[in-house]
Amino acid sequence: MSRVGKYPVEIPAGVQVALAGQTLSVKGKNGELKMEVADLVEVKVADGKVSVAPRHETTPARMMWGTTRALIANMVHGVAHTFSKSMEITGTGYRAQVQGSNLVLNLGFSHDVTYPIPTGIKITCEKPTAIKVEGADKRLVGQVCAELRKWRPPEPYKGKGMKFDGEYILRKEGKKK
């Protein structure tokens, strides 16, 4: 039984939610997000709240009930505020900088890695070893961070690589003589 799905999503001031068929659109100060609602659930927008209910009492419908409610809550939060993730780069000579609409990473390869910043995402580098990814879409922010981390994940011996702020890397002991 879903415990998340039964609570309606509050719509804060300055956010508009519209439902057209199976397409839900949420618009706020940080942009507009759209989502196709699954046929297994029914979404209603009324009295400043978005409520979700399963159409049938089947297991897949009840699974999508909580999932859809969580996705709608993330969309409403994203357009009202923003989601952000911070990353750290550790390693001698490793650094990052934003050049126009690209993020240029120097990660110890023979070439610089150029990552095109997707639309809807804002990347800033306060320091050459700190990256902050911000956006209204929580899934897209996480996906961008995962793609950046893929280039140089943290290794357990010296701790070099890209990691999230606050992430603890389990260190291993090196070779012994």
- Condensed to tens digits (0 to 9), the pLDDT of residues 121-174 reads 999 999 999 999 999 999 999 999 999 999 999 999 988 999 999 889 899 988
137 within domain boundaries: yes
Task: Convert the pLDDT of each residue in 8-51 to its tens digit.
Answer: 999 999 999 999 988 999 999 998 999 999 999 999 998 889 99
Please report, for the domain that includes residue 104, its CATH number. Answer: 3.90.930.12
Residues 101-111: what's their mean pLDDT? 94
Question: How many domains does the chain divide into?
Answer: 2
Q: Are residues 72 and 92 in the same domain?
A: no
Write out the residue range of the structural domain in which residue 134 sits: 83-164
Q: Which of 50, 80, 110 is the last residue of a domain?
A: 80
Q: Are residues 95 and 72 in the same domain?
A: no
Q: Are residues 13 and 67 in the same domain?
A: yes
Task: Convert the pLDDT of each residue in 42-80 to its tens digit.
Answer: 999 988 899 999 999 899 999 999 999 999 999 999 999
Question: Which ranges constitute the DSSP H helices of the chain?
Answer: 59-80, 138-151
65 within domain boundaries: yes
119 within domain boundaries: yes
Residue 15 and residue 165: Cα distance in Å, rounded?
A: 30
* Nearest alpha carbon to residue 50 among 112, 113, 7, 101: 7
DSSP letter assigned to residue 159: -
